[in-house]
Amino acid sequence: MDFEKDIKVGDILKKLREEKELTQDSLSEILNIKRQTYSAWERSISNPDINTIVFLSKIFDCSVDYLLGKTDKRNPYEIQTIAAHHDGDVWTEEELEDIEKFKEFVRSKRQTKE
């Protein structure tokens, strides 16, 4: 999906629903709404209310911004593992200190989010 273009919520809903291998009927049951209501969302005839958008983001494990087409990052708060290998490089004491400072920066940033 090209997120620089105007993305419709309906297109995103359909993509996410299909990825979860859900039918419109089964998702409608989960949401306790009529299938026709959900179908109208996917066809961009109407949109879900804000509470439903939040619930859908939980079902699809994505951010509300992703669901609304405002970002291409599904879950910007998801922790990703980063591995660094020095491949035999020799690090100076100053470089090692910089690496430790960076690790502390990342830890403090994480704690701020929590």
Domain with 61, as residue range(s), is 9-67
Residue 108 within any structural domain of the chain: no
Express each pLDDT in 38-75 by its tens digit: 999 999 999 999 999 999 999 999 999 999 998 888 87
CATH number, position 52:
1.10.260.40
Residue 72 lies in a domain: no
pLDDT above 60: residue 5:
no
Tell me, yes or no, whether 114 lies in a domain.
no
Of residues 86 and 95, more confidence is placed in: 95
DSSP structure string for 14-60: HHHHHHTT--HHHHHHHHTS-HHHHHHHHTTSS---HHHHHHHHHHT
In a domain? residue 29: yes
**Is the pLDDT at 7 greater than 60, yes or no?**
yes
60 occurs within a structural domain: yes
- Tally the domains of the chain: 1
In a domain, 97, yes or no: no
Does residue 112 belong to any structural domain of this protein? no
**Residue 4 confidence (pLDDT):** 46
